[in-house]
């Protein structure tokens, strides 16, 4: 199991990074990205601290930890620069908090995130056909979310992704211990979203990790 969307006490998660890593390891997760929420106010602190933590695990016998970030609720005009800044600071995977059904994300965030070349558009809500087509063209991965609320539109996202050839990944969006998913639960969540080729979603996660490294 690979999980590329999680949070710690560096933003609004419940756990310090070490406990998140350990709990994920016990859950059967092999690769975990720590992607705390960032905007212009905290990016210079959160991303370097995440990078530093992940580097500290280099010689430890634990799962692979990838430093990342999730740009969240940022004004549209700032997203491209924030994506670049995340990468400059060492984030190896960059997400943008998509237009979920349950939060007031600015309209147009999905499109700007895709145009900015993020790795994953997280829980993109009722994403448009045009945005899915663009994601497919640019190789941007669309997220099926395991988080309550954000998962409400998984079926819509999956249907359009399969129709237009966009790649899907499944992530937990973990904020607390109970959010971490087992492989069996993740498979059922993907199947429940109407995806016929369930294992392809997991291959996409492996492909993205291989691309990063």
pLDDT digits (tens, 9 = 90+) for 82-131: 999 999 999 999 999 999 999 999 999 999 999 999 999 999 999 999 99
Find, among 59, 85, 57, 58, the residue nearest to 71 by Cα: 85
Contact at 8 Å (CB) between 67 and 100? no
Question: Mean pLDDT, the chain, as a whole number?
Answer: 97
How high is the pLDDT of residue 193?
98
Could you tell me what percent of the chain has a pLDDT over 70? 100
How high is the pLDDT of residue 212?
86
- Distance, CA of 162 to chain centre: 19
Res. 204: pLDDT tops 90: yes
pLDDT, average across residues 28-41? 98
Place of tokens 């996409």: 204
**What does the alpha-carbon distance between residue 59 and residue 83 come to, in Å, rounded to a whole number?**
29
For 206, how many CA atoms within 13 A lie in the half-sphere containing its CB? 7
Res. 213: pLDDT tops 90: no
Find, among 95, 137, 99, the residue nearest to 118 by Cα: 95
Structural domains of the chain in order of their starting residue, each with its CATH number: 2-212 (3.20.20.140)
Contact at 8 Å (CB) between 164 and 136? yes
Could you tell me what percent of the chain has a pLDDT over 90? 98
Confidence of residue 18 (pLDDT cuts 50, 70, 90): very high
Whole-structure pTM over 0.85, yes or no? yes
Strands 168-171 and 93-97: unpaired
The predicted-structure confidence for 153-198, as pLDDT tens digits, reads as follows 999 999 999 999 999 999 999 999 999 999 999 999 999 999 999 9
CB atoms under 10 Å from CB of 42, counted, come to: 15
> Under DSSP, is residue 169 helix (H, G, I), strand (E, B) or coil?
strand
How high is the pLDDT of residue 170?
98
CB atoms under 10 Å from CB of 22, counted, come to: 13
**What does the alpha-carbon distance between residue 96 and residue 120 come to, in Å, rounded to a whole number?**
7
Res. 6: pLDDT tops 90: yes
């Amino acid at each position: 199991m690979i999980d590329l969307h999680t949070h710690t006490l560096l933003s609004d998660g419940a756990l310090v990074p070490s406990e998140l890593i350990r709990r994920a390891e016990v859950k059967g997760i092999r690769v975990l990205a720590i992607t705390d929420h960032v905007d212009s106010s905290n990016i210079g602190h959160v991303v370097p601290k995440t990078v530093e933590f992940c580097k500290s695990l280099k010689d430890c016998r634990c799962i692979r930890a990838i430093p990342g970030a999730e740009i969240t609720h940022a004004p549209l005009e700032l997203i491209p620069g924030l994506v670049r800044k995340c990468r400059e600071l060492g984030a190896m995977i960059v997400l943008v908090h998509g237009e979920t059904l349950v939060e007031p994300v600015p309209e147009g965030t999905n499109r700007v995130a895709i145009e900015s070349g993020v790795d994953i558009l997280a829980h993109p809500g009722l994403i448009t056909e045009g945005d899915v087509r663009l994601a497919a063209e640019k190789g941007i991965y669309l997220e099926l979310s395991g988080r309550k609320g954000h998962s409400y539109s998984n079926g819509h996202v999956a249907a359009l992704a399969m129709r237009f050839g966009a790649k899907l990944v499944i992530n937990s969006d973990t904020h607390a211990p109970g959010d971490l998913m087992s492989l069996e639960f993740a498979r059922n969540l993907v199947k429940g979203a109407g995806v016929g080729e369930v294992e392809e979603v997991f291959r996409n996660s492996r492909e993205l990790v291989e691309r990063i490294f």
